[in-house]
Amino acid sequence: MSSQAKTPGFTPVHGGHAVEQAIVAVRFGTELADLDLSDLRGSMGILNELPKRSTLTGFTVAVGPGALAHRPGQIEAPLGIAYSRHDASGELEAELQLERGAITYRTTRYPGWANLIGFLREQVLARALPTYLKLAPITSYLVAYTDKFVCDPLDLTSSAFDVLRPNSRYICPYIYGLPDYWHSHSGAFERIDSRTKRLVNVNVDYRPERTEDAVRRAIVAVVALTDILTDVVAVSDVSRELELIATRLDGMHTDAKRLVGDVIADDMINRIALHG
């Protein structure tokens, strides 16, 4: 390639899309007891998409009066159940954690929203909700995306601001035009409806990243929506609740996409087919 050839500048980290990580979580108003956790394990069974199953555990370190009567590092009761999938090199591709008070799914191999919510709805929530909802209703939801755009290590001229929407209200105005690396954070509550308050967090980093043999520049945008229910009621119909949960998560996904579009430039929106 000629030294005068034009470099592609910043590009989505996965070519056709920029999603490096997606997280969906549901939190409940109380925690499962040991017997409930055992019932949950039986209800969940085997998940073909996440073949490795393990037990979430923790330990405590006691301090203060009475500490001598407590064995340091004593293992407590199981915290929950974990399912995961790894690639051939051992790198985590997807993980599901069923904790005593929450369900959290995280993937670094984003399959598209339709596949993600389909898996959660049919394989996870349909099995797990009866155990959780018989004790307490849902109190909050989370949908979060991490999008990354990277620049070839040999490209020292392309501007990181080519990735970003000019004057985005979610990015600190101070950083526009800075020549060095930076971090921007914004967070605010929004009232979604009479029973839902939403925390919107947008973090954007311009940072160096080391690859196998060089250092490249990257723009990383994290958009996280947390819907907090301010008026919760007991659930009597689990099937109907499953439909309501799926509808809410669909809406949060759509809103998260809109936020990403408010952060990145139109060219990048088109390159990752954000709205198509």
Residue 231: pLDDT band by 50, 70, 90 thresholds?
Answer: confident
Give percent of the chain above pLDDT 70: 90
Nearest to 110 by CA among 142, 148, 162, 55: 148
What is the mean predicted confidence (pLDDT) over 157-161?
91
| pLDDT tops 90 at residue 126 | yes
What is the mean predicted confidence (pLDDT) over 92-98?
97
Question: Residue 5: what pLDDT?
Answer: 43
pTM comes to 0.90
pLDDT in tens, 54-83: 999 875 555 555 555 545 555 567 899 999
- Cross-strand partners of 155: none
Tokens of 10: 């910043």
Residue located via tokens 């920029």: 18
- Return the amino acid letter for 269: I
Measured CA to CA, the distance from residue 75 to residue 78 in angstroms comes to 8
| pLDDT tops 50 at residue 4 | no
3-state secondary structure of 273: coil
Who wins on pLDDT, 66 or 270?
A: 270
Measured CA to CA, the distance from residue 146 to residue 136 in angstroms comes to 31
CA 8 to chain centre: 29
pLDDT in tens, 28-39: 999 999 999 999
Give the number of other CB atoms < 10 A from CB of residue 53. 15
Question: Residue 6: what pLDDT?
Answer: 46
Residue 135: pLDDT band by 50, 70, 90 thresholds?
Answer: very high
Please state the domain extents for the chain.
Answer: 10-62+70-271
Measured CA to CA, the distance from residue 243 to residue 256 in angstroms comes to 20
